[in-house]
Structure 1
Amino acid sequence: MKKKNLFMMACAALLFAACSESLPDGGGDGGGVDNTDGEAWVSLNVRTGGTTKSLNTPTNTENGTENETKVNEMMVVFFDNHVDTPTPDPSVVDVKLWGSSDPEINTPGQGGGTATSAFKVKKTAKAFMVVLNPSTEFKTAATLTNAKLSTVNAAIVNTDVTSVIGAGTNNFMMTNAKGKLEPTKITDTGGTVDVEDIDLVTYPTAGEAESKPQQLTVDRVAAKVRLFADANYTGNSIDVATVGWALNVTNKKYFPMSERSKTWMETPAAGGRGTCISPYDIWKFGSYRKDPNFEGQKTSMPNIGASPYTDNYEFYTQADATATGKWSAATAGPSTGPNASKIPALYCLENTQEEADNYQAYTTHVLLKATIAPTGLKLPNDGGVYNGTTNSDADVDDSGKIISGNDWIKVGSGYYSYGLLIKYIEAELVSKYKSDDSDNFPTSLTTTFNTYLTYLKGKSVVDVDAVALLTKEAFTTKYGSSDSQIEAGAKELAESFKQAGVSTHGADIYGSVSYYKGGDSYYTIMIKHDNDEDNTNNKLGEFGVVRNSVYDITINSIKNPGYPTIPPPDTDKKDEEEEAFLSIEININPWTWYKQGVDL
């Protein structure tokens, strides 16, 4: 069974209350009255907790970093109603914005803060949205004339994660964790949870309001991913050196406040586990979220090289293979411990999808880059160790190992230096032309590599051409029929397969032939959110990166080579299919904490 740990959401808890300038007209909450008109007083207590907690080991806690929890600005947008009312698109009635030196923010802390001084708000406000460190785009939308919730919470497009974490990774935007407007009344009977939107309550004095604050939690808009890998691995006849990693297929859109949704596993009626995995989902709305491109991608975005796909997702191409600043070093060691939050990480915008769109082209995933060096190379026909020095092959050492960082070729399940591949082709041709039925003799390796040459020729790669094999009659006419003549002719013909353009062109893949330039190899690792313990595949919420969640991926082993080039996002490959060459163990961090172990 795959493990799952939950890292509690790094939340900011705001103690929120309103105060009336007039005496209450009765009221059931210690003298509180509903907002009606005029102005009221509000006091906030900001608590930015970066604490993490495993559900399996509740005492295992971890604070977030200072940069992940600091508050530089606070914005509160007030509305004249909630979303789920007869007026589904409430209007903005007031907007407040403060900087870090303003008393309304005061001193936020992890797990606890100091109450702010009271401030005035229009008494027509019935619901609110709190935004810490609002992005520039959000501030513009929130202050438009006659703005409504649909305006304020409209998808922010053509952007990246920098807009919600800051250029210095120290300005994390956070919004209502509920995914809807506050305030809320929650009744938890132990078996069921009842959630009721309630109107903002006011008090006659600022002091009374500050003594009866309302708590609110907020989520970071960004998701966080960490990769743990050793510097070296030993696989199936390969030595592996990890180079770096990146996040691929990242979202270019986000909702400031995204709607919560239950995963398949969180939905008992669908056959799932039935319990919500996020420990701070007090509403039991679900741990998953709906982003601006949540559904319909498979049918509406079939072409990754054109709009609308390119309007929605950022992805790596082969041009990024050697680009500066594109790859991050993996971290060695476990993801647990008191300093886990300080481990280098990559951040991205939330990216979720419906079950029908669980395809790699629409799912944020990890790209791992490694250098692969095949070992134990042998001469054909059980000829012993392929000694690079003896055979004048600069790509191979004396033990039959590809020198790390040098080119090599995979054909079918076999690993070769280019020089060794020519020797295998030569051996195959010798057998062919010595055969009594030469013209029907199978030359699978030769034919396969010749098909690769034809493919490169079709791509207009220079100095590459397919090789025309001679009939037995033509071969005998040109080289002779004695064993020594056949061996000499086969050697010459095999050498024609050694073409400069193949090496110059470098990394590529066609059919069962892969050319690994410099030994570079790439692995696609799908990030799991709510793991399927019952081995059901590609269910809703199984994959994706959700705001305020940190996903830890540990590379347990690398047994086989990956792709020789950065694989383009595949619109036809389902997320679960990578399980064929990945063994995944998931744990989850609420920042939420998700971990997974991977065998490659």
Structure 2
Amino acid sequence: MKNLFLTGLLGLGIFCSCSNEDDPANNGKLNEGETYAQIVLNLTDSKAATKAPTGDTGSTDAGTPSEQAVKDLTVVLADANNYVQAIYAPTLKTGGTDAADRATEPFKIPAGQYKVYVLANYNNQTKGAFNETLAVGAQMDQVLTIADASKLHVADNFLMANDNLVASVTDFTGDAEDTEVNDDLAEETDNPQKVHLVEVNIERVVAKVELDQTTKTIDVEDVNKNKIASATLEGGALINLNKYMYMVREAKTATNKPSGTSTWIYPQDPNYNKKLTGAGDEADWLTANFSNPSATSFTDFTSAPTFYCPENTMQADAQQNGQTTGVVYKVTYTPESTAYTELAQNGTSNYDQIFTAILGLGAGTMDADINASIFTTAESDGKTFYAYNDLIFKNKKAAILYKSIAEATGADNAAKATAANTAFTSNKGKSGAELDAIKVYEYTAGVSYYTAWVKHNPAGSNMQQDKFGVVRNHWYVLTVESISGLGYHKPTFEDPEAPDDKAEANIQVAATIKAWTVVKQEVNL
């Protein structure tokens, strides 16, 4: 992933000096003697202001200047076991002629042997993203609790870190032979220092999800290619954001990778090995590990909505609706007139005959809210409809009456009519959670929701390891290509234990990935 985003060229200058530079942040010396260090970052293609990814899954894109900007650097020296020994906030040089490169002023460090980690923009707003604070004595591979994920991707201050945790130990006790450089990577001409150069790659710690949608209204067709509704995409939102992360990812490649790619990373995050398996209280379990289990606000499609989120990967059998980062699409669903379910008085079907028998119960016995036009009367706004058992009804009472008829028992249609009438009276006043409990769902103003689980390997086979999830510094581009049925009535998933790959899906999304590695995903709703 060396050139996926930022190629950081670290120049660490070592020599004895009597300079008055500030002492390291830990205010202590690790070993006898002191030396100086300098860091140089080469920001690949930083001048490109890419608005949309160009290319297929596995291609790379530098992103926008705001996504690449480096305002400050934090340098961490760790021992061979990754325990932090010292932390520095060196000053960045100014005045370079090439905005693609940044360099620090030389700064003092104790001589020794260290692993070198570099964090970009950590001393700005991104530090407040975590409950924990990086400190001397801590481990670089500690689990960090994300207190505010939005601070990981503040404009011009995206948090960046080494591209893997396997940093080699660098010896800063020998003589340096390279020369100090400026922002443009040209050698310093004014009393230059001799430096060591150590190469380190850094990357953004968040993933990027873009909803690239040109076609906003899609015809919904049945299996016979008959139009049954129009679906208009109104907006999108992310759900299931990981609450935990590592500052630096592990260097783990995917077991299964997209065709045409050579190296495909799929690191293990702190939640990787967890799986929801009928936990005593699913809500508590999910809340403890993931945030945003449902969408509360949506970004419209005036322009392609773009979201940033923490890394979220998982073992194959943990690829479940309650754990995988996904996109909720908000859709206005307008059924065709022929798509509504109706029962007719004196009709030929068994349900028609039970309906006719109910109408024959007469005043005083038949519920007063039942009449011959109950199935043809729309809700007052003309848009709200109800669903029961995948059937669509023009109003709530029609859906409840149909359910009552479908579940009625008795020796004959007359007995079933009496039972259905009684059940209708019992259920007709229900709403909200009580209505959901009897499997009658309200689609207020015709709004339906569809979830598309983000795929790291869009072409992967069913529930294959590494198929779902989001990985840092990857750009997932999703496009809805088709919608084949009614979605859910809530902006979330129905069953958190449901597998991400299911036998039947009513959304199909095309996806691409950039490093920003691009992942393109076609979505069929």
TM-score by length of 1: 0.65
- Per-residue CA deviation, residues 90-122 of structure 1 (Å, 9 max, x unaligned), is 443322114xxx345876977x30443322222
Q: Within the alignment, does 1:64 sit opposite 2:42 as a pair? A: no
Query: What is the Cα-based RMSD across aligned positions, in Å?
Result: 4.2
Match of 1:213?
197
| Cα distance change on mapping 1:539 and 1:244 into 2, 3 Å | same
Given that residues 106 and 115 in structure 1 are in contact (C-alpha distance below 8 angstroms), is that contact kept between their aligned partners in structure 2? no
Given that residues 276 and 282 in structure 2 are in contact (C-alpha distance below 8 angstroms), is that contact kept between their aligned partners in structure 1? no
Q: Within the alignment, does 1:565 sit opposite 2:490 as a pair? A: yes
- 1:127-206 paired onto structure 2 within 5 Å: 127-134=115-122, 135-136=126-127, 141-144=133-136, 147-148=137-138, 150=139, 152-166=140-154, 169-182=155-168, 199=171, 202-204=174-176
- Per-residue CA deviation, residues 25-84 of structure 1 (Å, 9 max, x unaligned), is xxxxxxxxxx985222222222334678767699x8754223211122210011233xxx
Instruction: Give 1:177 deviation, angstroms.
Output: 0.8
Given that residues 376 and 394 in structure 2 are in contact (C-alpha distance below 8 angstroms), is that contact kept between their aligned partners in structure 1? no
Identical amino acids, percent of aligned pairs: 22
| Cα distance change on mapping 1:297 and 1:506 into 2, 3 Å | closer
| Cα distance change on mapping 1:596 and 1:140 into 2, 3 Å | closer
Query: What letter matches 2:205 in structure 1?
Result: V
- Per-residue CA deviation, residues 237-276 of structure 1 (Å, 9 max, x unaligned), is 112122221111111111111213222214xxxxx97954
| Cα distance change on mapping 1:312 and 1:583 into 2, 3 Å | same
SS state at 1:21 partner: coil
Q: Within the alignment, does 1:250 sit opposite 2:267 as a pair? A: no
Given that residues 77 and 142 in structure 1 are in contact (C-alpha distance below 8 angstroms), is that contact kept between their aligned partners in structure 2? no
Instruction: Give 1:19 deviation, angstroms.
Output: 2.1
Separation (CA, whole Å) in 2 of partners of 1:345 and 1:572 = 27
Separation (CA, whole Å) in 2 of partners of 1:558 and 1:260 = 38
- Per-residue CA deviation, residues 447-480 of structure 1 (Å, 9 max, x unaligned), is 33x68xxxxxxxxxxxxxxxx98966779xxxxx
Separation (CA, whole Å) in 2 of partners of 1:258 and 1:108 = 33
| Cα distance change on mapping 1:569 and 1:350 into 2, 3 Å | farther
Separation (CA, whole Å) in 2 of partners of 1:565 and 1:69 = 36
SS state at 2:238 partner: strand
SS state at 1:163 partner: helix
| Cα distance change on mapping 1:301 and 1:122 into 2, 3 Å | farther
TM-score by length of 2: 0.73
Given that residues 41 and 120 in structure 1 are in contact (C-alpha distance below 8 angstroms), is that contact kept between their aligned partners in structure 2? yes
Separation (CA, whole Å) in 1 of partners of 2:429 and 2:240 = 32
Query: What letter matches 2:490 in structure 1?
Result: T
| Cα distance change on mapping 1:558 and 1:581 into 2, 3 Å | closer
Match of 1:595?
520
Query: What letter matches 1:546 in structure 2?
Result: V
Q: Within the alignment, does 1:347 sit opposite 2:308 as a pair? A: yes
Query: What letter matches 1:165 in structure 2?
Result: H
Match of 1:554?
479
**Match for residue 444 of structure 2 among 514, 517, 520:** 517
SS state at 2:330 partner: strand
Instruction: Give 1:409 deviation, angstroms.
Output: 2.1
Separation (CA, whole Å) in 2 of partners of 1:107 and 1:300 = 58
Q: Within the alignment, does 1:417 sit opposite 2:394 as a pair? A: yes
Given that residues 484 and 507 in structure 2 are in contact (C-alpha distance below 8 angstroms), is that contact kept between their aligned partners in structure 1? no
Given that residues 262 and 288 in structure 1 are in contact (C-alpha distance below 8 angstroms), is that contact kept between their aligned partners in structure 2? yes
Match of 1:440?
none
Given that residues 582 and 598 in structure 1 are in contact (C-alpha distance below 8 angstroms), is that contact kept between their aligned partners in structure 2? yes
SS state at 2:244 partner: coil
| Cα distance change on mapping 1:470 and 1:276 into 2, 3 Å | same
Separation (CA, whole Å) in 1 of partners of 2:373 and 2:15 = 91
Match of 2:429?
501
Match of 1:465?
none
Instruction: Give 1:301 deviation, angstroms.
Output: 5.5
| Cα distance change on mapping 1:508 and 1:558 into 2, 3 Å | farther
Separation (CA, whole Å) in 1 of partners of 2:468 and 2:209 = 13
Given that residues 104 and 119 in structure 1 are in contact (C-alpha distance below 8 angstroms), is that contact kept between their aligned partners in structure 2? no
Query: What letter matches 1:358 in structure 2?
Result: Q
**Match for residue 10 of structure 2 among 15, 19, 23:** 15
Instruction: Give 1:418 deviation, angstroms.
Output: 2.0
Structure ranking higher in helix proportion: 1
**Match for residue 234 of structure 1 among 216, 219, 222:** 219
- 1:446-485 paired onto structure 2 within 5 Å: 446-448=404-406
Given that residues 210 and 305 in structure 2 are in contact (C-alpha distance below 8 angstroms), is that contact kept between their aligned partners in structure 1? yes
Match of 1:259?
250
Instruction: Give 1:352 deviation, angstroms.
Output: 0.8
Given that residues 277 and 497 in structure 2 are in contact (C-alpha distance below 8 angstroms), is that contact kept between their aligned partners in structure 1? no
- 1:293-442 paired onto structure 2 within 5 Å: 293-299=271-277, 303-306=281-284, 308-317=285-294, 323=296, 326-330=297-301, 343-377=304-338, 380=343, 396=378, 406-418=383-395, 421=398
Number of corresponding residues: 457
Stretches of structure 1 lacking an aligned partner (at least 5 in a row): 1-5, 23-34, 82-88, 183-196, 267-271, 278-285, 333-342, 384-389, 397-401, 426-443, 452-467, 476-488
Stretches of structure 2 lacking an aligned partner (at least 5 in a row): 18-29, 181-192, 222-227, 348-371
- Per-residue CA deviation, residues 331-370 of structure 1 (Å, 9 max, x unaligned), is 56xxxxxxxxxx5411111111112311121111111111
- 1:60-139 paired onto structure 2 within 5 Å: 62-81=61-80, 89-98=81-90, 102-104=91-93, 112-134=100-122, 135-136=126-127
